[in-house]
Structure 1
Amino acid sequence: MRLTIIGGGGFRVPLVYRALLTVSPEESPDRAMGRCAEVTLFDPDPGRARVIASVLAAQAAGVPDAPAVRIAADLDDALRGADFVFCAMRVGGTAGRVRDERVPLAAGVLGQETVGAGGILYGLRTIPVALEIADRMRAVAPDAWLINFTNPAGMVTEAMSRRLGHRVIGICDSPVGLVRRAARAAGADPAAVGYGYVGLNHLGWLQSLTLRGRDLLPGLLADDAALASFEEGRLFGAEWLRALGSLPNEYLHYYYAARETLAAARAATETRGEYLERQQGAFFTDAARMPERALEVWERARLEREETYGAEARAASGGGERDSCDLEGGTREWAAPVLRHAARRVVQEALTNAVKHAPGSAISVRVAH
């Protein structure tokens, strides 16, 4: 399987690659079906792509059958021959994000990456580029599937599906992060629980958390100490969560506590985008200067980035610092299993269509990687 990453110079790309390096036999009984043989990076900034490629090379050191990594010369080169295209781009870079935050704040409303006025501005800038990519996919990679992880995820996925139809899959790591944190707080193995999540991506509520037929959520909501042990419990508070009877996604704090989060954002010395522009700029400068230490520099910057995630909402709620378990949320490591399951889904769909439309005919399946 050949995977292309649009936004291949993005800071979190190594999370996807690290997950590809750790395919377990349980996750992929048919190793050929789930194995990614090549990862192609495409980014409008070749310097960033080279830095990320050096991080991936360090991650792959000593790993048997690690996916080969190459940097594409242009978009068509990146798309041609791809089985899956993972779209995780930031149109306008972090400078664009800063504008999305500062313009609304100056008008007295919240500027945030995916919700409210900031999210609308981001979507308006991103969708035209996403449609151009969809058009090039139709032209040079018509059989490829697109996995969209570009925010605002719902808007971008819907727009691209109008060009690519059912070959677009939108994903978000935020809901699964909430499920994992809630399961741990309830004393359960996150891999063993079932759950009911109502909503889409960032805007949703966890309404059930089941283990062997028993719903753990009522007990969790009744336990002040357990609620105080994870991000959403501290962010919303026990009283509010019990009134809701569910666990909201952390992004809903921007709606439930709009005045408080707006006040915290306006009082902050810098926006999240300004912080990332400064922090990531330092990372890319340092890693380009010391490519042999790129992975070490990236790991240090990643931890700092994750520890400061959601600082405005925590400041508004008095939630304090992030706990270590809060850093084990969704992240893009969740995306690699999605890609593997999508590959199986493609084969299953092909076989189903063959049986439906050509019953009794001989069918052969070839998996190339």
Structure 2
Amino acid sequence: MKLTILGGGGFRVPLVYGALLGDTSEQRIRDVALYDVDPVRLEAISHVLAQMAQGHDTAPTVTTSTDLDESLRDARFVFSAIRVGGLGARTADERVALDLGVLGQETTGPGGIAYGLRTIPVAINVAERVAAVCPSAWVINFTNPAGMITEAMQAVLGDRVVGICDSPLGLGRRAARALHLDPSRTSFDYVGLNHLGWLRRLMYDGHDQLPRLLADGDALGRLEEGQLFGAEWIQSLGMLPNEYLYYYYFTREAVSAIRGGPQTRGEYLLQQQEDFYARVATDPDLARQEWDRVRRERNATYMSDVHDEEDERDPADVEGGGYEGVALALMAAIARGESTTMILNVRNGSSVPGLPGDAVVEVPCAVGSFAPRPLATAPLGLPELGLVQQVKAAERLTIEAARTGSAKVAVRAFATHPLVDSVGTARVLLEGYRSRIPELAVLR
């Protein structure tokens, strides 16, 4: 089988290749095609993969190309992990908002809308090329904002586009470990949108263990979410929030922390990755070693802009990666008919009451040799449903604005989002993004 990775020069691509190296099934990926618009980044990552493959007799072959159709030809699976505008545009996503005293973050709030506005046209073009070149392929979307991009691509490819994220799985695993339970024997009731969801049950041997965790202040204190939100707030919710909900529940604190830091997350990663690619170009023999070192630094500083200095990330999260395992498990289930349940970004149907049937949601799904099927969930409480509905409305307006090129609809998208405090702010946000991000200058 052939796997095509779009954004093949991206820093996280070796995580996927590492997962493939551990797959010994007869029905495994044997060919990997890396596509990227940046040949320098492609070459650097190809050096990392070549060094990872040393000692593996059955390592997948790797080819690189800057031609999209060539890369897609004969693909069984397509991973979309593109970043339109690069990390430079991400820094603009953050700074334009922060300069107005509004949250500046990659996927949440106005930064996520700006990211979506410039990415959706490219993602739709990718979907159209997949339909033309490899129509039977499955597209597994990593591109952020994952729910929004998945929904836009589904307009072309339907259920053959599935969005993935490792945040829900990571949350469930951390909750299990806090109670000294084996994460592999647990299952989770999780519901929401990408980067906006709640863990409502933690099932182990047929019993819900979440009430025991919520009642144990010490166990909550061992949990990253307990350090981030505080045990009292989590106990008042009666469920575990995804870490990205910090930006909604503690907006003032998040904005203050990010503005008070020496640099935004995007600025940190931009410098780190520029240094990495430059070092590999100078000395390709050190590619794998440098990638490992930079990856550990990157993981250790994840969400450090809002964590207290004394808070420590779970070592298993720092070393474990995550989303590549989700991707491999999804491919295995589809290709081999290995039935399982996974938390994915899929079309809602009737799984989440209160949202449109064609809206993409993040929920547990039955997976096998068929399109993932969302499982029914208990209704969200009114506060959670209201937040989800408002954010979903902003996402759908963003998709409409990107498809039509309408600045008026883009302003509505910004103004609808709960983290933007006025229509006036929405207008200034759009003008700021249009002035700094060339891909958004076309909005009229």
RMSD of the alignment, in Å?
1.7
Q: What is the alpha-carbon distance in structure 2 between the residues aligned to residue 20 and residue 349 of structure 1?
A: 22
Q: What is the alpha-carbon distance in structure 2 between the residues aligned to residue 258 and residue 299 of structure 1?
A: 34
- Give the CA deviation at 1:73: 3.9
The match for 1:198 among 191, 195, 208 is 191
- Please state if 1:321 is matched with 2:312: yes
Structure 1 segment 107-122 matched on structure 2, within 5 A: 107-122=100-115
Q: What is the alpha-carbon distance in structure 1 between the residues aligned to residue 15 and residue 96 of structure 2?
A: 31
Deviates more, 1:203-212 or 1:321-330: 321-330
- Please state if 1:259 is matched with 2:259: no
User: Which string of whole-angstrom CA distances, capped at 9 and with x for unpartnered residues, describes residues 104-163 of structure 1?
Assistant: 111110011111000000000100000111111111111111111100011100000001
- Give the CA deviation at 1:319: 6.1
Q: What is the alpha-carbon distance in structure 2 between the residues aligned to residue 347 and residue 39 of structure 1?
A: 23
Query: Which residue pairs with 1:186 in the alignment?
Result: 179
- The structure-2 alpha-carbon separation of the partners of 1:105 and 1:298, relative to structure 1 and needing over 3 Å to count, comes to same
In the superposition, the TM-score normalised over structure 1's length comes to 0.89
The match for 2:263 among 270, 280, 284 is 270
Structure 1 segment 204-215 matched on structure 2, within 5 A: 204-215=197-208
User: Which string of whole-angstrom CA distances, capped at 9 and with x for unpartnered residues, describes residues 288-336 of structure 1?
Assistant: 2221111110000000001111012214xx7623231342463333212
Q: What is the alpha-carbon distance in structure 2 between the residues aligned to residue 340 and residue 38 of structure 1?
A: 15
The match for 1:105 among 93, 98, 102 is 98
Q: What is the alpha-carbon distance in structure 2 between the residues aligned to residue 22 and residue 223 of structure 1?
A: 37
User: Which string of whole-angstrom CA distances, capped at 9 and with x for unpartnered residues, describes residues 191-245 of structure 1?
Assistant: 1111110212211111111111121111111222211222112111111111111
- The structure-2 alpha-carbon separation of the partners of 1:224 and 1:325, relative to structure 1 and needing over 3 Å to count, comes to farther
Letter aligned with residue 322 of structure 1: R
- Equivalences, count: 341
Q: What is the alpha-carbon distance in structure 2 between the residues aligned to residue 326 and residue 228 of structure 1?
A: 16
Query: Which residue pairs with 1:61 in the alignment?
Result: 54
Query: Which residue pairs with 2:65 in the alignment?
Result: 72
SS state at 2:322 partner: coil
- The structure-2 alpha-carbon separation of the partners of 1:331 and 1:138, relative to structure 1 and needing over 3 Å to count, comes to closer
- Give the CA deviation at 1:347: 8.7
- The structure-2 alpha-carbon separation of the partners of 1:347 and 1:177, relative to structure 1 and needing over 3 Å to count, comes to closer
Query: Which residue pairs with 2:5 in the alignment?
Result: 5
Letter aligned with residue 195 of structure 1: F
Letter aligned with residue 148 of structure 2: M
- Give the CA deviation at 1:171: 1.0
Q: What is the alpha-carbon distance in structure 1 between the residues aligned to residue 278 and residue 257 of structure 2?
A: 31
Q: What is the alpha-carbon distance in structure 2 between the residues aligned to residue 304 and residue 274 of structure 1?
A: 15
Query: Which residue pairs with 1:330 in the alignment?
Result: 322
Residues 177 and 329 of structure 1 are in contact (CA less than 8 Å); yes or no, is this contact kept in structure 2? no
- Give the CA deviation at 1:60: 1.1
Which protein has greater RCO, CA pairs closer than 8 Å, 6+ apart? 1
| Percent identity of paired positions between Structure 1 and Structure 2 | 55
The match for 1:92 among 63, 69, 85 is 85
The match for 1:299 among 278, 289, 292 is 292
Residues 6 and 42 of structure 1 are in contact (CA less than 8 Å); yes or no, is this contact kept in structure 2? yes
- The structure-2 alpha-carbon separation of the partners of 1:288 and 1:240, relative to structure 1 and needing over 3 Å to count, comes to same
- Please state if 1:137 is matched with 2:136: no
The match for 1:46 among 36, 39, 45 is 39
Residues 35 and 67 of structure 2 are in contact (CA less than 8 Å); yes or no, is this contact kept in structure 1? yes
